[in-house]
Structure 1
Amino acid sequence: MRTKSHVYLKGIVVMLVFSIATCLNYSCKSQVENRYITYDGQAKSDTYQVTVNNDSVFVAKESFYGNKTFHTTQFAADTETVVRITSKDPINSFKIKPAYLNIKAVVKENELVFTLNKPEKLFIEINDYKPLCLFSTPTEQGIPDPNDLDVLYFKKGVHNVGVLRPKNNQTIYLEQGAIVKGRVYGENVKNITIKGRGIIDARGFTSKKDKICGLEFKNSDHIKIEGIGLRTGIWWQSLFLLCNDVDISHMNLMSFGENNDGIDIDGVTNFKVTNSFIGCGDDGFGWHALDAEANGEPDTANCIAENCVIYNAYAGNGIRLGASMETKLFKNITFKNIAVLDHVNAAIRSDHSDWAVFKNVKFENFYIEKPSRPIEIRIEKTGYSNNTGFKNERGHFDGLHFENIHANGGKIILEGYDETHLIENVSFTNCYNKDVKLKSTNDITINDFVRNISFK
């Protein structure tokens, strides 16, 4: 006789069998569904096809300002995820960058297969083709209601908007597949969120003459940017000026021409950028203080860049603290888990040209792939030094720390200015240049105005 208990137990067995079958079907990998979503106006790649856990994803062939062409794709990868790249021809050579991730791949004819355990920003070179940029992100959470009056919601497709000027407590949402042609400018606003998996295309809306960026916030608080792409023309890609509490994550910036800094800050406190890819034609991170007469001398403090990848082409540096430093204090500045894939001048540079005091600046878990000019920190008078008569003074470094740095060759240079403008209290911990551990000042280049250096 069948009882309710028998029926209940049979139901449990069926559910278990279904669960096991599902797990086997997907090899117990992440079951995030990545849909094939095109970006209107972007050409489909003629070189690569990509699947993620057997789901096909759209691969674009993008042309950027600065005469660069890359193939790009974006997808969700929360946990263990199998990525399969199919090339148009058999694969004879490949590199998966950042190299320090040590991602193991299997090649079979024209297929390259590897597994990700979490979202990564990868730059993949196959044969002599244009590189493929893979921007994996977490699955989107908290997608806003399109009917919410505090939401500007951009659906898949091309939107010509000109200048977006967010208001207090507003969310700008870019659906995957959305391309918003225009720029974002916010001044004296607070509680702004820009999120999604779409792209802001500011080409044609930026200006070197008028110093107009693709994305800029001034005198603003509580800004959050997550998951979006940014493409710009001439001038800086993004700037945060006199802001507090800025959180940027899983962003990809791709512009490679004149003055194309990636993410710049000036007079900012409590700033964080994580898990982002910065493709730039000038400084990847340009953190400075440009104009004391216009902006005053506010502190820049408690700023961190973490888990980011920088590809610097055309001009500039991977990271630049300076050159203009027309303020009193930069403190608690951290760069952690950073890979510089390529750089034109230096990977880490400070041509400190004004009077700011730097306190507690740290570079930790830093990987420099190009064998040239890894670190150059100088206090000096340059063409960027203040010339308005406001103040003619040099600055100071007090607390400069390098930990787990891996450079690939070239000189590491530290140079103070004079007896009262020093670089002091410097530490190198577990740092290597061309696989040789730094053990003493014999392994770096310093002048007489660098004091109290330790090596561990």
Structure 2
Amino acid sequence: MLKISKIPDGEPVSTLFTATVDGENAPAKAIRVSAYPYNYGWPGHQRPEEQSEDSAYIAFESDKPVTIRVKPGREFCEAVVRPLSKGIKPEREGGGLVFTLEHPGQYSLELDGHHNNLHIFFDAPREYAEDGVIYYGPGVHNTGVVRLYSGDTVVIDRDAVVVGGFFAVDAENVKITGKGVIDGRYENRTNDTLLLAVDVQTWGHIDHGAEGFMKFMKRTDLMTGNIKLYNCRNCVIEGVICVDSAAWAVSCYACSDLHIDGIKEVGQWKYNTDGIDLMNCRDVLVENCFLRNYDDCMVLKGIKGWDGEDLYNITMRNLVIWCDWGRALEIGAETCADEYHGILFEDCDVIHAVFSMLDIQNGDRAYVHDVTFDNIRCEFTKYQQQDVLQTDMTVPYPDPQPAYQPRLIFIHGYTGQWSKDGIPGKTSDILFRNIMVYPDTGMTAPEIDICGFSEGHGVERVTFDGIFMNGKRLTRGDIKWTVGHHVGELDFI
């Protein structure tokens, strides 16, 4: 059974590629993505569109392997399908390419580097009941911001685009599901809008209850992005494609018993468009997702105003990560909580990153411990561009850049720009196991950068149990190390 997502009338169709799935036309949706890692922070207005570029995606469901044929609209020399761990080798066929996808997942077809790529979203079939739910059928729905309440279920049809965002406050049993699109183009960030659900002027306490929090939202122009959940329980976010947010795309504050499964984030090129931010959450499973974001992708934060809750029992597995700015799989930098523990990143592919692949920044008071990165595959490409902080909006990105390689692992304790507690934390009992590095030919061994903050607030008991480069197990001497002060035992197996 093959079902290919259609593009509603009026929505942009890409001219970069034409594609078929098992011989059936698969329309490519046109999107904007970040063109290069050039970030101003916040200059008082949104990121200029000329810092983005054209890209596209196709989406479909099938219960069996599929054959993809793609004809690009340009000449090319090299073609690669990521994640590399899937072992997909595209073959030339006339002026195009053909390859087979054996299993559902998220893929990227890249020609002569990562620019102007084709994202491929292959889902297993699933039907959703339309009765008794908030259903968005085929077509474009201009909803704006929609509040959800306990027991609400949203279903977005595979051929639907919802131009709006969803949020819930102090709710339970909320579900946002379907294979359609949540499009954040309705929202515009300005100096008068609030990015985070906290009073950034005072970093004061936020009332987590629905009534008090709604008062807070009314007196602040709080942004929604694609999805936001505040103090919610037993909630599901599943399947949807999130595009063009003007803020953090999907963020959850002080939530518990949360399941995020199979969502795709793409077309996220504006300032601070983080992927999935879990703030002071517990008992969470995030799995089978694709995150391409212009800022940190999969992030666990502790935020002032919500910091009465610790972060624990959180598993993130089978994710495909493309980080256009910042850090790919991250704890921090804000760690306003007493503890982080029982954290597992497992079976993930980082296909592109800028600053670092696997990251712990302990910027506040938290004791971060018992964190595992297991079976993570990290790809390094010769086309990677250097991250540059922009200080003058009239100065273009300096291109070409020299060859650049992100850090593989970064662990730092510090107090700095993002620190809000004024109290340093500590980090210990961190395990990196079966970390696979796939660099392009000629690239050097990966870098590991570790530094504590002060006596009693350092980094201790970090274990590296298997770091492999193109299948070869690396020794301690193969790694490029940057080790600062207040770092305890580093066990390299």
Q: CA deviation at 1:363?
A: 1.0
Amino acid in structure 2 at the alignment position of 1:105: P
Q: Is residue 251–residue 277 contact of structure 1 (8 Å, CA) maintained in 2? A: yes
CA distance in 2, matches of 1:110, 1:126: 13
Matched, 1:61 2:22: no
Q: Is the 8 A contact 1:168 1:191 kept in 2?
A: yes
The count of residues paired between Structure 1 and Structure 2 equals 414
**Structure 1 residues 79 and 428, CA gap change in structure 2 (3 angstroms):** farther
> 1:295 offset after TM fit, Å?
1.8
SS in 1 for 2:375: strand
Give me the whole-angstrom Cα distance separating, in 1, the residues matched to 2:189 and 2:283: 28
Which range moved further: 85-94 or 107-116? 85-94
Pick from 397, 401, 410: which aligns with 2:427?
Answer: 397
Aligned to 1:175: 157
- 2:204 aligns with none
Post-superposition offset of 1:178: 0.6
Deviates more, 1:87-96 or 1:71-80: 87-96
Match of 2:61 among 69, 76, 85: 76
Counterpart of 1:106, as a letter, is: E
Q: Do the aligned partners of residues 439 and 449 (structure 1) sit closer, same or farther apart at CA in structure 2, a change above 3 Å counting?
A: farther
Paired position in structure 1 for 2:409: 375
Which whole-Å deviations, capped at 9, do the CAs of 1:312-333 have from their partners, x for residues lacking one? 22x3221221111111011111
* Contact map agreement 2:53 2:116 (CA 8 A) in 1: no
Distance between the aligned counterparts of 2:165 and 2:28, measured in 1? 24
**Structure 2 equivalent of residue 232 of structure 1:** 244
- How far off is 1:160 after superposition? 0.8
- CA contact under 8 A between 1:90 and 1:109: conserved in structure 2? no
For 1:380 and 1:350, locate their aligned partners in 2 and report how far apart those are by CA, in whole Å.
11
Would you say the 8 A contact 1:68–1:256 is kept in 2? no
Aligned CA distance change for structure 1 residues 427 and 38 (closer, same or farther; 3 Å): same
SS at match of 1:134: strand
Please say if 1:156 is aligned against 2:138.
yes
239, 258, 280: which one aligns with 2:293: 280
Conserved 8 A contact 2:187-2:245: yes
**Residue aligning to 1:299:** 310
Residue 446 of structure 1 aligns to which amino acid in structure 2? V
Tell me if the contact between 1:34 and 1:55 (Cα under 8 Å) persists in the aligned partners.
Answer: no
Deviation at 1:430, TM superposition (A): 1.5
Distance 1:171 1:222 in 2: 12
8 A contact 2:106–2:121 mirrored in 1: yes
1:363 correspondence with 2:399: no
Q: 36-45 or 391-400: which moved more?
A: 36-45
1:311 maps to amino acid: W
CA RMSD, Structure 1 to Structure 2 (Å): 2.1
8 Å contact from structure 2 (residues 280, 303) kept in 1? no
* 1:197-276 mapped onto 2 (5 Å cutoff): 197-205=179-187, 207=189, 209-211=193-195, 212-214=223-225, 215-254=227-266, 255-276=268-289
* Matches for 1:33-182 after TM superposition, within 5 Å: 33-35=2-4, 37-64=6-33, 67-88=52-73, 92-127=77-112, 130-141=116-127, 143-145=128-130, 147-148=131-132, 151-182=133-164
Task: Judge conservation of contact 1:261–1:282 (CA < 8 Å) in 2.
Answer: yes
Is the Cα contact below 8 Å between 1:77 and 1:116 reproduced in 2? no
The amino acid that maps onto 2:72 is: S
Whether contact under 8 Å (2:57, 2:118) holds in the other structure is yes
| Structure 2 counterpart SS, 1:203 | helix
Question: Is there any run of 5+ residues in structure 2 with no aligned partner, and where?
Answer: 34-48, 196-222, 381-404, 440-444
Q: What SS does the aligned partner of 2:20 have?
A: strand
Q: Which residue of 2 aligns with 1:23?
A: none
Question: 1:410 & 1:116 partners in 2: Cα distance?
Answer: 30
| Alpha-carbon distance change, 419 to 176 in structure 1, aligned in 2, over 3 angstroms | same
Higher mean C-alpha deviation, range 91-100 or range 435-444: 435-444
CA drift of 1:453 comes to: 2.4
The answer for the alignment partner of 1:28 in structure 2 is none
Q: Answer whether contact 1:40 1:177 (CA < 8 A) is retained.
A: no
| SS of residue in 2 equivalent to 1:318 | strand
1:453 corresponds to:
490
Within 2, Cα distance between the matches of 1:366 and 1:262? 18
- For the 8 Å contact 1:90–1:111, the answer to whether it is kept is no
Contact 1:91 1:107 in 2 (8 A): no
2:19–2:26 Cα contact (<8 Å) kept: yes
3-state SS of paired residue (1:397):
strand
2:363 to 345, 348, 353: 353
Deviations 1:47-87 (A, max 9, x none): 32222222322211223576232111101133322222233
User: Is the contact between residue 42 and residue 62 of structure 1 (CA under 8 Å) also seen in structure 2?
Assistant: no
Tell me, yes or no, if structure 1 residue 194 matches structure 2 residue 194.
no
Runs of at least 4 residues of structure 1 off by over 6 A? none
Amino acid in structure 2 at the alignment position of 1:271? V
Give 1:424 shift.
1.8
Contact 1:91 1:109 in 2 (8 A): no
Q: Note the C-alpha offset of 1:410.
A: 4.1
Q: What TM-score do you get using the length of structure 2 for normalisation? A: 0.79
Give me the TM-score of the superposition, normalised by structure 1. 0.85
Tell me, in whole angstroms, the C-alpha distance in 1 between the residues paired with 2:333 and 2:356.
13
- Whether 2:340 is the aligned partner of 1:340: answer no
Q: Is the 8 A contact 2:66 2:101 kept in 1?
A: yes
CA deviation after TM superposition for structure 1 residue 170, in Å: 1.2
- Once the two structures are overlaid, the 10-residue window that deviates more, 363-372 or 393-402, is 363-372
Structure 2 Cα separation of the partners of residues 358 and 441 of structure 1: 28
**Matching residue's letter, 1:385:** S
**Cα distance per residue 1:212-240 (max 9 Å; x no partner):** 13110001011111111112343211110
Q: Percent identity?
A: 23
Mapped to 1, the partners of 2:244 and 2:16 lie a distance apart of: 24
Max Rg structure: 1
Any stretches of 5+ residues in structure 1 without a counterpart?
Answer: 1-31
